[in-house]
Amino acid sequence: MHPPLSGFYHYQPNNGSDQCSDHPVAGSDQSSFQRRLRDNEDSGDQCPISPAMLLHEAMAMRTLPIFVEMRERPAAVVGGGVVAARRVEYLVRCGARVTVFARELSDEFFALRGLPNFRHVARDPEPEDLRGCAICFIAAEDERLTLAARDAAKKAGALVNVADRPRLCDFIMPSIVDRSPLVIAISTGGASPLLGRMLKARLESQIPAAYGRLAHLMSRFRQRVAEAMPSPTMRLRFWEKALEGPIGEAALMGNEAAASARLTSEIERAGADLSRPALGEVYLVGAGPGDPDLVTFRALRLMQKADVVLYDRLAGEGVMNLVRREAERIYVGKRPDNHELPQEEISALLVKLASAGKRVLRLKGGDPFMFGRGGEEIETLAEQGIPFQVCPGVTAATGAAAYAGIPLTHRDHAQACVFVTGHGKDGKIDLDWTALLQPRQTVAIYMGLRNLEALTREFVARGASADLPAAIVDNATRRGQRVVVGTLGTLAAKARAAELSGPSIVIVGTVVTLRDKLDWRAPVRQAESGVSAAADSKE
């Protein structure tokens, strides 16, 4: 049942694209399912979710978004009203041979009547009329006609769509933004056609018609680029540069001649440069603690540029969904046997991929320089002359504090905050207790869940009051976030009772009491899960 994990786990995503709307479907994909299943297995301190539940979630996408070639293929439309006319327009535009069966045609058909691939039959269809038909749209008022036409079309092997009758459909019609050859199809899975229309309106206004011209231009030069540049990576770079620079600008401005001339010279130049091996780059990016909304703009830009991504379980599914779909995914986190990939191997892989000209995204949970070994990973890059850049992220402690309503500093409580790791070497906690026990200070402890009992005990043994407020924020900023509040004397028992799974941040200090007033997420939590704020344990 579980996919075998040995060595690096490579995942090549399918190019998931848009999907249909009007009727039932919902968004998720097999790629995210596989990731979740894998991350879930990767025990660490995560709470396991049964593969059956994950499969159930993955099944939420009930239709397959595809674009069907219709050129010169026979298609039938039953009905002569407005909806039928819209269907005919799309069919005609994609080159299908369309026959409309309707006793009368509405005015909407006026412009369609004279087209060479349009035929009107002024009666109901007979079963033999539909033979050989690839696709059949039914938009008739008459129930008997609708059912008879559907039966006949299905018997003829056609894919059938009945307007406003999802149960009778083999496929559903998406909302369409047409910048041919660029076409965007939108579906809300039947959840909200209104939302689909709003999204369509937004895209219509944000994607100028000129994008169609740009796509045409690219299509004309595609073959020449492929001949001049054999490597897919090189072609990708070439097109990105072309689109982001003056060529794209000229095409969007409608100056196709200038764009074509410049493309021609750039192709020649790129072809002549082939002998020079291109060096890639590594992006060490902090993904934040899990909520994809906390990813920075810069991180998002780099995530969208990457050819390959190295990630571990802390990156989280929501964040991984922001990575460019076509990017190769390599899991370098803990395996089921609880072993992490040695740091040297990750660094060596980064060097290897970047040396092969790839843009490598090393995605880390939180901030890469905060208990993230980010520094170690890029040291090797620096030594080997591989270009890299670092993008900070929201670290787990600040994310946890914000989403739990516990300010880490506050004029009445704490003027300092110390970040420490509770992950003791060889099981022994090795902390500077004098520094930690300072008054008017908050201590944020990473990796402290497993040692919580010993940690809190040690605090008290070293002189802290057993009544000092403390909290643990589990799965901070994520959908399953839980907060347990207590004191140094009670927190470990409460966390155990709550069966927290991690990852967790422990916050020690009187700032914890502020949560009573500042728990701004209570209504969000209630709305999200239907579980009341009482699920959080409070003292």
Ligand X SMILES: C[S@@+](CC[C@H](N)C(=O)[O-])C[C@H]1O[C@@H](n2cnc3c(N)ncnc32)[C@H](O)[C@@H]1O
Minimum CB–partner distance for residue 503 and ligand X (Å) = 4
Smallest distance, ligand X to C-beta of residue 403, A: 9
**Which ranges in 229-296 belong to alpha helices (H)?**
232-244, 246-252, 256-272
Compute the least distance from the CB of residue 97 to ligand X, in Å: 56
The answer to whether residues 501 and 47 touch, using CB atoms and an 8 Å cutoff, is yes
At residue 11, the 3 state secondary structure works out as: strand
* Chain centroid offset of residue 64 CA: 18
Min CB(406)–ligand X separation in Å: 13
Minimum CB separation of residue 44 from ligand X in Å reads: 8
99 vs 504, beta carbon nearer ligand X: 504
Residue nearest to ligand X (CB): 366
Strand order in the sheet with 9-11: 9-11, 328-331, 308-311, 359-364, 281-286, 388-391
Give the shortest CB-444-to-ligand X separation in angstroms: 9
- Residue 334 annotated among the catalytic residues of the structure: yes
Dihedral pair phi/psi, residue 394, rounded to 5°: -70, 120
- Collapsing DSSP states into helix, strand and coil, what is residue 134? coil
- Is 312 catalytic? The answer is yes
Separation between Cα atoms, residue 150 and residue 137, nearest integer Å: 9
Give whichever of 173 and 443 is closer to ligand X, judged by the CB atom: 443
List the catalytic residue out of 39, 42, 312, 536.
312
**Number of C-beta neighbours around residue 37 at 10 A:** 18
Phi, psi dihedral angles at 477 (to 5 degrees)? 70, -5
CA 222, CA 14: separation in Å to the nearest integer?
Answer: 22
Report which of 248, 201, 204, 190 is spatially closest to residue 25, judged by C-alpha positions: 190
Give bridge partners of residue 183 from the DSSP assignment: 178
Q: Tell me whether residue 161 or residue 442 sits nearer to ligand X (CB atom).
A: 442
Q: Report, in Å, the least distance between residue 3 CB and ligand X.
A: 24
User: 402 and 511 in contact (C-beta within 8 Å)?
Assistant: no
- Please identify, using beta-carbon distances, which residue of 188 and 477 lies nearer to ligand X: 477
> Given the structure tokens 């990813």, which residue do they identify?
295
- The CB-of-419 to ligand X minimum distance in angstroms stands at 9
> Among residues 80 and 289, whose Cβ is nearest to ligand X?
289
Q: By C-beta, is 446 or 459 nearer to ligand X? A: 446
34, 166, 181, 197 from 175: Cα distances, Å: 29, 15, 16, 7
Closest CB to ligand X among residues 129, 458: 458
Residues that bind ligand X (CB under 6 A): 289-290, 314, 364-367, 370-372, 395-396, 400, 446-447, 473, 475-478, 503-505
Measured CA to CA, the distance from residue 357 to residue 280 in angstroms comes to 4
Assess contact for 539 and 486: CB atoms under 8 A: yes
Query: How far apart are alpha carbons 33 and 187 in whole angstroms?
Result: 20
DSSP assignment of 292-361, as one string? GGGS-HHHHHHHHH-SEEEE-GGG-HHHHTTS-TTSEEEE-S--TTSPPPPHHHHHHHHHHHHHTT-EEE
Closer of 221 and 371 to ligand X (Cβ) = 371
Report, in this order, helix, strand and coil percent for the chain, each rounded to 5.
Answer: 40, 20, 40
Q: Which is nearer to ligand X, 90 or 419 (CB)?
A: 419
Minimum distance from residue 447 beta carbon to ligand X (Å)? 4
Beta bridge mates, 121: 101
Q: Specify the DSSP class assigned to residue 511.
A: G
End-to-end CA distance of the chain: 42
Q: Which of 200, 334, 358, 494 is catalytic?
A: 334
Q: Measured from the CB of residue 199, what is the shortest distance to ligand X in angstroms?
A: 29
Residue with smaller CB distance to ligand X, 115 or 524? 524
**Cα–Cα separations (whole angstroms), residue 68 to 35, 155, 328, 499:** 29, 20, 27, 50
Quote the Cα angle for 370-375-376, to 5°.
120
Catalytic positions, written as ranges: 312, 334
